[in-house]
Structure 1
Amino acid sequence: MTTNDAAQGRPKDPRVDAALISAAIEVLTESGWAAFTTTAVAKRAGASTASLYRRWPSKQALAGAVARHIAQSELSGIDTGTLEGDLRELLDRKRQILETATGPALLSLMGQAAHDPELRQILHDDVYLAVRTQLGELIAKAVRRGELAREIDPAQIDVLTLVLIGTALARSVFVVPSGRDAELMMLLAAIVGAQA
């Protein structure tokens, strides 16, 4: 071990990271933000609070890691070969996020964000920007394939991103029947209409 290694301490074990993220999702799902403490998460993961704090210095930072994990694991790698297929896959994945164990955790974080500026910024960076980036990439692929004449204005992508996130949240709260095809057709029409 070099002096540099000793100064940095023991390398972080990715298994502990995964256990802490899973435990954080479970605590958020079961108890919501009010009971979401670093102590509860560390206990659930069978880890020390010191190991948690070495990774994330606050419960907001841990919440950001949860949001980032959900967004990255669920929204990346979409490429069906058509814009319609890609958007259908994006909508399906968005729906899966909210219908699985991660859904209540994400909803709990979003509900609390209205009262916590630090958490709101984390969710902006780790959820909103992840969805916006993914949507922008799908549109760019459609342009490269010749399905769209050109990229659409960034401000329009911002609005479409808010619509994507908002409809998913509204559906989960109001238990609206799927309407996936209507949502897909409206999204396609908005993207194609932005080309005019």
Structure 2
Amino acid sequence: MPDAGDGRREAGAPRRRGAVLEEAILRAAAEVLRESGVAGLTMDEVARRAGTNKNAIYRRWTDRVALGVAAYRRLAAAETTVPDTGSLRGDALELLRGANSTWSSPYGEILRGLIAAAGGTPGLLAELRDPEAGGGAYESAWTEVLGRAVTRGEATPGALHPRVASAPVALLRNEYMTRGVPAVQDAVLVEIVDEVFLPLVHGRGAGGGVA
């Protein structure tokens, strides 16, 4: 009897189930997103590349947008590297510059396409934007550089707050969404770090709070 979870596997190939099959599906979806964007992401094409059938995909993701969000999270995590310049300011600037470069690239087009496609589904938007939902690769990186700053004595443990970590990314995203620019000028990135992020971090150390 054919494997319902992998009906297209080659004859004699081992049956894939669980995490192994899910990995193959996500890898195939990420390939389609990179090559064809959100418009080209179809369950048929992902099934063909993953060597499975659409039923196996639908058991895990309700539609192509949900699959696309999961695949994009993998892409974002792979593209995000955590700098270690030796200072919080240096790390912050490197992170913002990396995010700016990525969001103004084809990966940014994918993200904007997914946000538009998921517009009526708050849960999917949360996965794309909320670090607690696993979609915030950049926010996780900010938490790491903040942790290093605490270890070096540049910040107090009070600065390790999710809203502090997410503030620079939210401000950068706002530049794209409200100004419609293809890329944010470096002077704006410096301003976000020097005029907002670092004072916010130091304010937490002085006993300030974040609502």
TM score, norm. by length of structure 2: 0.68
2:138: which partner in 1? 131
Equivalent residue number for residue 112 of structure 1? 117
1:74 to 66, 76, 79: 79
Partner of 1:190: 196
Where does residue 3 of structure 1 map in the other structure?
none
Show the 5 A alignment for 1:28-177: 28-29=37-38, 31=39, 36-43=41-48, 45=49, 47-50=51-54, 53=57, 56-58=60-62, 59-123=64-128, 124=130, 125-127=133-135, 129-152=136-159, 153-170=161-178, 173-175=180-182
Instruction: Report deviation, 1:122.
Output: 2.5
Q: Which has the higher helix share?
A: 1
Count residues with an aligned counterpart.
Answer: 181
Code of the residue aligned with 1:21 in structure 2: it is A
CA shift, 1:61, in A, is 3.4
Higher relative contact order (CA 8 A, sep 6+): 1
Greater shift, 19-28 or 136-145, is seen at: 19-28
2:134 and 2:178 map into 1 onto residues whose CA distance is 20
Distance 1:136 1:61 in 2: 26
- Look up the SS of the partner of 1:174 in the other structure: coil
Shift of 1:85: 2.0
Identity within the alignment, %? 22
Shift of 1:169: 4.6
| Offset from partner CA, 1:130-180 (integer Å, 9 cap, x none) | 332221221221121122345425444444442133235556x3335x421
Structure 2 regions of 5+ residues with no counterpart? 1-13, 204-211
Match of 2:10 in 1: none
From the superposition, tell whether residues 86 and 122 of structure 1 become closer, same or farther in structure 2 (CA, over 3 Å): same
Cα 1:186/1:119, change in 2 over 3 Å: closer
Find the aligned partners of 2:126 and 2:185 in 1 and give their Cα distance: 31
Question: Unaligned regions of 5+ residues in structure 1, if any?
Answer: 1-7
Residue pair 1:60, 1:118 contacting (<8 A) in 2 also: no
Distance 1:85 1:52 in 2: 45
CA distance in 2, matches of 1:55, 1:90: 36
Counterpart CA distance in 1 for 2:72 and 2:78 is: 10
